[in-house]
Amino acid sequence: MKKYHIISEEKLHRMIDERVANQILEANNNHERELLMKQANIRSLQAQINPHFLYNALECIRAQAIIDGAEEIASITKALSLFFRYNISMKGNLITLQDEFENVQNYMTIQQYRYKDRMSLEIRCDQHDAELMDMLLPKLVLQPLVENSIVHGFRDMTSGAYIIISAEKIANHTSIKVIDNGKGMSIEELNALRDKLRNQESILHDTQDQNENGIALLNVNRRIQLFYGQDYSMNITSCKGEGTQIELFLPRNEISNAYE
């Protein structure tokens, strides 16, 4: 015999209000995701008018460099071409950890040429672990962290600068750390940055930080929250004169349906 549950009119209205509120929240989150992805790719999107012209030009430069025996020019041109292809041509918002690593390595090749090899990059992880390397994550979350180290951490360094990126599986999560030996931050600076990360609205309005960092740390942090939920955020530790560590502690392959 079936049992029927009778709910009061007040409870019915409350349930309806909650459902409507959840739908509005999800709609707002979807809209914000779209805005943030546009911000993350805005510079690259400007080059989409004729990207094949850019690729062909770079390939011609690389070919001539090889003919002339200019191996360094050929190498940097290849890295630049691959970096632009990743940022402009690759479709979708999700990418594998392996692809993110390769993009960061191309980016560092370009920066090492620019800064005359005064910095180095090391990636520490089990690159034979398919589950780890095939993990899906939002596109362009690691390169901005490396860029932040170069622009801010290494500003006054002329040699010996290094960045270490590590990835390690912990239960059903992955810990990804970006560590540098730059100038670091004081307690006051670190607390100010942490306050910004807790202020979700600042990501859409802090244009100064975006201009300085290319793709702002605030943007990356907010996108992580929108992809994985409010419980996830960048964890930043730093010490003045000793460097900075940024950790992303992310669930493996548990991403909002909006991005599948």
The pTM for the full model equals 0.71
In a domain, 159, yes or no: yes
Does 14 or 126 have the greater pLDDT score?
A: 126
Tokens of 66: 């090889």
Does 13 or 109 have the greater pLDDT score?
A: 109
Contact 216, 121 (CB under 8 A): no
In a domain, 22, yes or no: yes
In a domain, 216, yes or no: yes
Half-sphere exposure of 174 (CA within 13 A, CB side): 21
Please give the Cα distance from 126 to 141 (Å, whole number): 20
CATH code: domain of residue 127? 3.30.565.10
Q: Mean pLDDT over residues 100-119, rounded? A: 89
Q: Mean pLDDT over residues 154-158, rounded? A: 87
In a domain, 64, yes or no: no
CA distances to 62, 72, 123, 139, 230 from 204, in Å:
39, 40, 31, 19, 17
* Structural domain span for residue 245: 9-49+90-259
Give yes or no for residue 194 having a pLDDT over 70.
yes
Give the pLDDT of residue 176: 97
Contact 54, 47 (CB under 8 A): yes
Give yes or no for residue 27 having a pLDDT over 80.
no
Give yes or no for residue 37 having a pLDDT over 60.
yes
Give yes or no for residue 185 having a pLDDT over 90.
yes
pLDDT in tens, 46-93: 444 466 667 777 788 888 888 888 888 888 888 888 887 787 765 567
Please give the Cα distance from 45 to 140 (Å, whole number): 14
Look at the block and give the residue holding tokens 């691959």.
82
Out of 85-99, 147-161, 188-202, 206-220, give the one with best mean pLDDT. 147-161
Please give the Cα distance from 251 to 26 (Å, whole number): 20
In a domain, 56, yes or no: no
Give yes or no for residue 117 having a pLDDT over 90.
no
In a domain, 71, yes or no: no
Q: Mean pLDDT over residues 183-205, rounded? A: 80
Binned at pLDDT 50, 70 and 90, residue 256 comes out as very low
Does 175 or 67 have the greater pLDDT score?
A: 175
Spell out the SS3 assignment of the chain.
Answer: CCCCCCCCHHHHHHHHHHHHHHHHHHHHHHHHHHHHHHHHHHHHHHHHHCHHHHHHHHHHHHHHHHHCCCHHHHHHHHHHHHHHHHHHCCCCCEEEHHHHHHHHHHHHHHHHHHCCCCEEEEEECCCCCHHHHCCEEECCCCHHHHHHHHHHHCCCCCCCEEEEEEEEEECCEEEEEEEECCCCCCHHHHHHHHHHHHCHHHHHCCHHHHHHHCCCHHHHHHHHHHHHCCCCCCEEEEECCCEEEEEEEEECCCCCHHHC
In a domain, 167, yes or no: yes
In a domain, 136, yes or no: yes
Count of the separate structural domains present in the chain? 1
Contact 86, 129 (CB under 8 A): no
Give the pLDDT of residue 259: 47
Please give the Cα distance from 141 to 131 (Å, whole number): 19
Does 117 or 150 have the greater pLDDT score?
A: 150
Please, what is the average pLDDT of the chain?
80
